[in-house]
A = this chain, B = another copy of it.
């Protein structure tokens, strides 16, 4: 057993972020000259529990990976040490580059099973060994973006901030959760490295331990207000929330006297509905209607919906655990399947796991009020179902190179907001008991192919 190395996946060993069988299969393909062109499709077979739509995310990290994928000498040395691989194959890996084509849905777009989120057209080995990474990144980011979109919809225009890093499943999860949440409409994150990496706005105030580090709450509030005159949001529930609100008023008056403002008061525990009403009243009656109330503490879309239904007085929500882990549906079952190779269409017949063959296009058809009406999933060369139909899959990489510069995250975020405006009302319901299904139809040729189990192109 090798000695332990630093506990991180780094750009240097990212090439080994792969299920072993991808490499054993690739070795076998290489030794038998089975490296002809193949098409793999990445798609989801069915919606996860409690979801009526998905927001696609993860493409940018995939393109970054594909452009930079190299097998370092250290990685090759490790593979050699396993005594599994042929010398011939390890030689091949030395000069490995991904040189295939990628078609993909743009990030932030609404998608449904079983539409391809991404198609890879590449020599078989190149297409095969990227599977683990592609699924890992797209499954997780799509899942969190989809959860975040539900939370943002529930908040009805109020701000939602990602506060999940301490409960996220590792550091990459926290980075990508912040990005996916922002893409789906959150206003920012508490995660500083996500701010640095993606330019996402960062938010933060103080913890209970800060308040406890002073003689009393008022001293803590005063100190913070003087240290952060432009960012004074006070956590008011360390000892007694209403007392905290009154202390916030005292500090707000002192700030006002020197031309400063307290921006907000945060409540993180207790009955958030009742407390938000009392705190709002205290702030308003003392002449501070402009101080905003931020609620947090194990929130999700259902709790937010109920708080607002009851009439909670709130301006923004901080959401952590449930957002960052997609708590009620923590894994998306995206799969990556061979659909075509040099011999034609490929069909897998395993029980309950049928895969639609061939290169595809997904078309979106809108009704007269610009709401999504239905999608049509068809072979890539089938005609559009309507003149106004929009094609979801676009070429994004050719011969291993991006066709366009990296898309700004703000652009994907706008696309997501635009797509959500076109989402039919019945798909917006948060209720776990009224999940509605959007219609994804099959094109005529794809239907015909599906009807006859063949593995040969006719």
Contact = CB atoms under 8 A, between A and B. Distances in A.
Interface size class on chain A is 35 or more
Interface string A341-352: 100001011111
B338 A18 contact: no
Contact of A78 (B4, B195, B349): B195
A308 interface: no
Contacts of A337: 208-209
Interface in A308-356: 321, 324-327, 330-334, 336-338, 341, 346, 348-353
Interface in A184-237: 190-193, 195-200, 202-210, 212-214, 223-224, 227-228, 230-231, 237
A304 B270 CA distance: 40
Nearest to A175: B9
Given A64-B6, A269-B352, A199 B13 contact: no
A38 B214 CA distance: 13
A19 B190 contact: yes
A324 B136 CA distance: 11
Given A135-B166, A192-B23, A172 B8 contact: yes
Interface stretch (A368-376, A377-385, A388-396, A406-414): A406-414
Contact of A349 (B17, B204, B239): B239
Contacts of A223: 28, 32
A442 B230 CA distance: 45
A4 B330 CA distance: 27
A31 B228 CA distance: 11
A166 B19 contact: yes
Contacts of A238: 348-350
A139 interface: yes
Interface string A244-287: 00000000000000000000000011100000000000000000
A109 interface: no
Interface stretch (A90-98, A124-132, A416-424): A124-132
A327 B21 CA distance: 24
A408 B4 contact: yes
B327 A20 contact: no
Nearest to A61: B7
A119 interface: no
A116 interface: no
A207 B20 contact: no
A137 B170 contact: yes
A172 B9 contact: yes
9 contacts: A7-B179, A9-B171, A9-B175, A25-B209, A128-B209, A136-B171, A168-B169, A209-B337, A213-B341
